[in-house]
């Protein structure tokens, strides 16, 4: 009888950092990746002495704060994948404090983390292994989420990620894979009435990220998102090409 060897998981022995790791999706991603053999580092604003089921969540916790992204540069040097998943939702309040905080946490902090991860990558010896950044920009990038401050901040980081992706040369894209994750409403502390399950969403994200070519990951119950988001990305790409210097 011929024995067929099981397919080797591409996630085995990979070191993965996740911001917002103590949230519903962060925990679900951590647990799923650990089950596939990854070593997961949870990057959290909370306590690093959090106690969870030893089989769930990250293998290790590291504490950080928005505005202190530079301190993670050494951590980034040892990562294969950085998943940017942290965020806040001020709700429907129309106050400047809420807007400023949403922009800082949801957009500017993520942007700085992307820059420092790229810097850490450029300081390393070139090898054949591509590093990855996944950014959860949310469906709010293209449609209302009943929270103006949240929508504005998500649209900002969404455009910044599109800018970054289009500014990379073909050579840089072989070393750094940037994936944008567009999610519909899933149940979490930010959205207690979400209709999707975080564990199911995490499994689908990881499954879709298995393909190197899949740099736009969409998981939503809204069929329009699957039509509008790729179109938005295409139009942005065409626009950026007008200003990009030839390689």
Q: Are strands 81-84 and 60-63 parallel, antiparallel or unpaired?
A: unpaired
Angle at 151 between CA 149 and CA 155, to 5 degrees: 120
Encoded tokens for 223: 């069929």
Per DSSP, which regions of 90-170 are E strands?
A: 131-136
**Burial class (CB within 10 angstroms; exposed 0-12, middle 13-18, buried 19+) of 68:** exposed
Give SS3 for 15.
Answer: strand
- Going from the C-alpha of 182 to that of each of 5, 61, 98, 192, 209, the distances in angstroms are 34, 26, 23, 18, 13
From 116, 150, 226, 239, active-site residue: 150
* DSSP character at residue 186: B
In angstroms, rounded to a whole number, what is the distance separating the alpha carbons of residues 76 and 15? 10
Sign of the torsion angle spanned by Cα atoms 153, 26, 198, 164: positive
Q: Is 150 a catalytic residue?
A: yes
Residues in the chain: 247
The catalytic site residues sit at 150
């Amino acid at each position: 009888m011929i024995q067929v060897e099981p397919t080797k998981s591409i996630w085995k022995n990979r070191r993965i950092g996740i911001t917002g790791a103590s949230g519903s999706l962060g925990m679900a991603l951590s647990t799923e990746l650990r089950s596939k053999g990854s070593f997961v580092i949870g990057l959290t604003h909370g306590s690093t002495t959090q106690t969870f089921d030893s089989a769930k969540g990250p293998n290790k916790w590291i504490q950080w704060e928005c505005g202190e992204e530079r301190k993670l540069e050494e951590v980034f040097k040892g990562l294969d994948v950085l998943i940017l998943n942290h965020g806040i939702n001020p709700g429907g309040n129309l106050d400047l404090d809420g807007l400023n905080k949403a922009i800082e946490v949801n957009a500017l902090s993520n942007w700085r983390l992307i820059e420092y991860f790229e810097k850490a990558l450029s300081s390393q010896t070139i090898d054949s292994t591509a590093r990855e950044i996944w950014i959860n920009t949310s469906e709010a990038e293209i449609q209302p989420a009943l929270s103006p401050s949240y929508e504005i901040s998500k649209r900002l980081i969404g455009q910044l990620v599109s800018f970054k992706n289009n500014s990379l040369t073909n050579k840089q894209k072989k070393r750094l894979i940037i994936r944008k994750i567009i999610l519909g409403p899933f149940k979490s502390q930010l959205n207690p009435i979400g209709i999707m399950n975080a564990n199911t969403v995490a499994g689908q994200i990881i499954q879709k990220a298995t393909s190197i070519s899949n740099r736009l990951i969409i998981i939503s119950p809204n069929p329009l998102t699957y039509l509008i988001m790729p179109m938005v990305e295409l139009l942005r790409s065409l626009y950026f090409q007008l200003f990009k210097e030839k390689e």
